[in-house]
Amino acid sequence: MLIALIVVVANVLTAARLICYQRHGARYRPVMSILAYALIVCSGGQVIDVLINGSPVTIWQAGFSSVVALLVLRARGNVASVVRTVA
């Protein structure tokens, strides 16, 4: 139950931060927008899957979701910065 809560919270934080991102003069990059959209859809889908379908989650999913959430929060929702940080 605790692992499922970690997955849900991490994915909600990720999706919320990406949805609330404001460019403030940053360059518009269509590829990064598509990647941000995919991250929002996948993290939101993961939340729905866990909450509604009751899908079992593993410690590895919780770890991965937490790392992605930390990267997105650290970059303030800027996907280009996340990709630059990882690459």
pLDDT at site 26: 83
Give me the tens of pLDDT residue by residue for the chain, a chain 87 residues long. Answer: 899 999 999 999 999 999 999 988 888 999 999 999 999 999 999 999 999 998 899 999 999 999 999 999 999 999 998 888 665
pLDDT at site 69: 97
| DSSP secondary structure of 9-77 | HHHHHHHHHHHT---TTPPP-HHHHHHHHHHHHHHHHHHHHHHTS-----HHHHHHHHHHHHHHHHTTT
List Cβ neighbours of 50 (8 Å cut-off, separation of 6 or more). Answer: 4, 7, 8, 57
pLDDT at site 87: 52
pLDDT at site 86: 61
Q: How far is it, in rounded angstroms, from Cα 68 to Cα 65?
A: 5
pLDDT at site 84: 81
